[in-house]
């Protein structure tokens, strides 16, 4: 098999950004990207599609349009990892060799884990912004439901963009409020977890909207079954004494978010740690057992928020460290766990959560410009007008505005 300097598995947000970042730094690198999909998606836009703000087609491009010119695109799925041989197996039975591997295959949406859900989606009032083809149905439902009960669910962590289940809820409520329908709606949030949002700073602002929209909060309540024809959802509710009971709720609209798991090919490989996620050092993003392997994006075990914003900060860190590894040097850059979740609380306003490892607040702007703990129009403007072009024209092109990697050892003497 052919040996590349760098093989990148996954041409999503993380994989393309890393390829571009590497080529910006060293244009002569021989890079292959292994990616079976025909299209690349801007998934952060799906929340906006679900509220009728973005057109679906603005979130999808042909994969070839984001592949950097100088990479070899292998149009196949990775089927196995053999890090000791520095080899990956491909779906057609062939294989590739590398000097350095960057694994960025994302995660798997486990729709099948909730009996009845897959069959119900797209009709009977059952939708999910977690699928390109269904986000427009969320908007259609929010625009046509004239009263009744709407359920919004969130599975156990980790999930990508942990705020997305409630973003869909607030924006739907805002559509009902504007249409005068909200008083006839009974809205419930069912979260398998125990809190509204994992970083407490943002919870008070979110609670104001929960109250304004009259949302009923259910924590420790996991969606375990859907009967689309009957319009009934089944939840498993954990009691404080550890007991679990099943509760049925009928609905007029159900926005479901599926459990999220590592890809099978990853979980079954030597790259996986406990739980099946790729086990990397949280700072350098280098694999803990295989020094020729780096990983980033949704596929890793690192405890950051799984977001495109995280991948934007991780890509240059991985690029710097891959170049060091190719020269036999130690990693030179580190990642602080930055992730961002623009919580769309109403059309026109966002609570902009930005935080790193351990819930440390990492705001991009000083508070007098943008206070992330409050709903602001500026944050909506960013999400609506700025972040899509930043994604397509900066992040995916290796233009690292506001995300220069930090050196591994912060030099105190330099200060
Ligand atoms: P992906 O972008 O999912 O890419 C993974 C790629 O790997 C895909 O192209 C896939 O085809 C490929 N692949 C899969 N299997 C294989 C294989 N076997 N071999 C090779 N390639 C393979 N993030 C934000 O920053 N802000 C937001 O507001 C936000 N909102 C979101 C809202 C929704 C509804 C959703 C679904 C996501 C949201 N995100 C948001 C999260 C963000 O989209 C992801 O965190 C980001 O896309 C992760 O990048 P990734 O490259 O790891 O994975």
Place of tokens 């984001």: 66
From ligand 1's centre to the CA of 197, what distance in Å?
21
Say what percent of the chain tops pLDDT 70.
98
pLDDT recorded at residue 403: 73
Q: CA–CA distance from 360 to each of 255, 302, 356 (Å)? A: 30, 15, 5
pLDDT value for 100: 98
pLDDT at 238: 86
% of the chain at pLDDT higher than 90: 94
Q: Which CATH number fits domain 3-107+262-407: 3.40.50.720, 3.40.50.2000, 3.50.50.60, 3.90.228.20?
A: 3.50.50.60
pLDDT of residue 411 exceeding 50, the answer is no
* Per-residue pLDDT, 402: 67
Distance 13 CA to ligand 1 centre (A): 6
- Distance from the alpha carbon of residue 339 to the mean position of ligand 1, in angstroms: 14
The residue whose CA has the least distance to atom 53 of ligand 1 is: 106
Interval between CA 58 and ligand 1 midpoint (Å): 16
Q: What's the pLDDT at 415?
A: 36
Supply the residue whose CA is at minimum distance from atom 43 of ligand 1.
Answer: 43
Mean pLDDT of all residues belonging to the chain = 96
Nearest CA, atom 3, ligand 1? 106
* The pLDDT of residue 242: 82
Helices and strands (DSSP H and E) totals, the chain: 11, 23
Instruction: Give me ligand 1 centre to Cα 299, in Å.
Output: 9
Which pairs from 402-406 meet CB under 8 Å and 24+ separation? Answer: 402/364, 403/312, 403/313, 403/316, 404/316, 405/316, 405/317, 405/319, 405/320, 405/333, 405/334, 405/335, 406/317, 406/333, 406/334, 406/335, 406/336
pLDDT score recorded for residue 409: 64
What is the distance in A from the centroid of ligand 1 to the CA of 383? 17
Q: Please answer whether residues 88 and 78 qualify as being in contact, where contact means their C-beta atoms are separated by less than 8 angstroms.
A: yes
How is the chain split into domains, by residue range? 3-107+262-407, 110-260
Asked whether the predicted pLDDT for residue 413 surpasses 70, the reply is: no
Q: Indicate which residue's Cα is closest to atom 8 of ligand 1.
A: 12
Tell me the C-alpha distance between 356 and 285, whole Å: 15
Note the pLDDT of residue 400: 87
The stretch 240-247 carries a mean pLDDT of 89
Dihedral in degrees, nearest 10, Cα atoms 310, 132, 74, 281: 20
Taking the centre of ligand 1 as the mean of its atom positions, its distance from the CA of residue 119, in whole angstroms, is: 23
Atom in ligand 1 nearest the alpha carbon of residue 168: 34
Task: Give tens-digit pLDDT for 329-360.
Answer: 999 999 999 999 999 999 999 999 999 999 99
**In the CATH scheme, what is the code of domain 110-260?**
3.50.50.60
pLDDT at 166: 98
Task: Check for a shared fold between 3-107+262-407 and 110-260.
Answer: yes
Mutate to test the pocket of ligand 1, among 34, 104, 160, 263 (most ligand atoms within 8 A of CB): 160
Would you say the ipTM is above 0.95?
yes
Total Cβ atoms within 10 A of residue 396: 25
Q: What is the pLDDT of residues 285-305, one digit of tens each?
A: 999 999 999 999 999 999 999
User: What pLDDT, in 10s, does the model give residues 81-112?
Assistant: 999 999 999 999 999 999 999 999 999 999 99
* Nearest-CA residue for atom 45 of ligand 1: 307
pLDDT class for 406, splitting at 50, 70, 90? confident
Determine the atom of ligand 1 nearest the C-alpha atom of 309. 25
Pocket probe for ligand 1: among 8, 39, 44, the residue whose CB has the most ligand atoms within 8 Å is 44
Mutating to test ligand 1, I would choose from 7, 13, 167 the residue with most ligand atoms within 8 A of its C-beta, which is 13
Which one is predicted more confidently, 240 or 113? 113
The packing angle between helices 13-25 and 308-326, to 10°, is 40
Which is it for strands 108-109 and 260-261: parallel, antiparallel or unpaired?
Answer: antiparallel
- How many angstroms is it from 62 CA to the middle of ligand 1? 15
- On the question of pLDDT at 410 being above 70, the answer is no
Residue-wise pLDDT tens digits, 183-233: 999 999 999 999 999 999 999 999 999 999 999 999 999 999 999 999 999
With 90 as the cut, is the pLDDT of residue 240 above it?
Answer: no
Pocket test for ligand 1, best of 92, 106, 396 (most atoms within 8 A of CB): 106
Q: Which helix (H) or strand (E) holds 65?
A: helix 63-66
- Dist CA 318 CA 163 (whole Å): 26
Average of pLDDT values for 356-380?
97
What pLDDT score was predicted for residue 404?
78
Among the atoms of ligand 1, which is closest to the Cα of residue 265?
Answer: 18
Asked if 403 is an active-site residue, the reply is no
- Site residues for ligand 1, CB cut-off 6 Å: 9-15, 34-37, 43-44, 46-47, 77-78, 104-106, 129-130, 160-161, 164, 263, 265, 297-299, 306-309, 311, 340, 342
Task: Pick the atom of ligand 1 nearest to 42's CA.
Answer: 43
Closest CA to 129 of 238, 10, 53, 49: 49
């Amino acid at each position: 098999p052919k040996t590349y300097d760098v093989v990148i598995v996954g041409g999503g947000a993380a994989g393309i950004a890393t390829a571009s970042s590497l080529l910006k730094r060293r244009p002569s690198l021989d890079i292959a990207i292994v990616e079976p999909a025909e299209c690349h998606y801007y998934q952060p836009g799906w929340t906006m599609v679900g509220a009728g703000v973005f057109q679906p087609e603005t979130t999808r491009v042909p994969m070839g349009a984001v592949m950097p010119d100088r990479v070899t695109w292998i149009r196949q799925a990775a089927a196995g990892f053999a890090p000791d041989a520095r080899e990956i197996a491909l779906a057609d039975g062939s294989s590739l060799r590398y000097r350095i591997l960057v694994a960025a295959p994302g995660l798997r949406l486990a729709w099948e884990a909730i009996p009845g859900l897959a069959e119900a989606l797209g009709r009977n009032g059952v939708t999910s912004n977690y699928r390109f083809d269904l986000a427009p149905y969320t908007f259609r439902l929010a625009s046509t439901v004239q009263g009744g009960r709407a359920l919004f669910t969130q599975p156990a962590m980790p999930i990508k963009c942990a705020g997305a289940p409630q973003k869909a809820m607030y924006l739907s409520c805002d559509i009902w409020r504007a249409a005068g329908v909200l008083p006839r709606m009974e809205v419930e949030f069912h979260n398998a977890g125990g809190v509204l949002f994992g970083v407490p700073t943002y919870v008070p602002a979110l609670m104001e909207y929960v109250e304004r929209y009259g949302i009923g909060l259910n924590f420790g309540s996991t969606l375990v079954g859907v009967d689309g024809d009957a319009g009934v959802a089944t939840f498993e509710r954990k009691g404080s004494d550890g007991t679990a009971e099943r509760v049925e709720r009928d609905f007029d609209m159900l926005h479901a978010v599926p459990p999220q798991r590592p890809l099978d090919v990853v979980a079954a490989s030597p790259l996986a740690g406990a739980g099946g996620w790729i086990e990397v050092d949280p700072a350098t993003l280098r694999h803990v057992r295989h020094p020729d392997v780096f990983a980033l994006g949704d596929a890793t075990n690192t405890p950051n928020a799984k977001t495109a914003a995280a991948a934007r900060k991780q890509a240059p860190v991985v690029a710097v460290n891959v170049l060091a590894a190719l020269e036999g040097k130690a990693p030179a850059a580190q990642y602080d766990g930055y992730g961002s979740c623009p919580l769309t609380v109403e059309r026109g306003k966002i609570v902009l959560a930005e935080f790193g490892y351990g819930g440390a607040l990492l705001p991009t702007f000083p508070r007098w410009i943008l206070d992330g703990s409050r709903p602001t129009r500026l944050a909506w403007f960013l999400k609506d007008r700025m972040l899509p072009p930043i994604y397509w024209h900066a992040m995916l092109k290796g233009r690292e505005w506001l995300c220069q990697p930090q050196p591994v050892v912060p030099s105190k003497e330099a200060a």
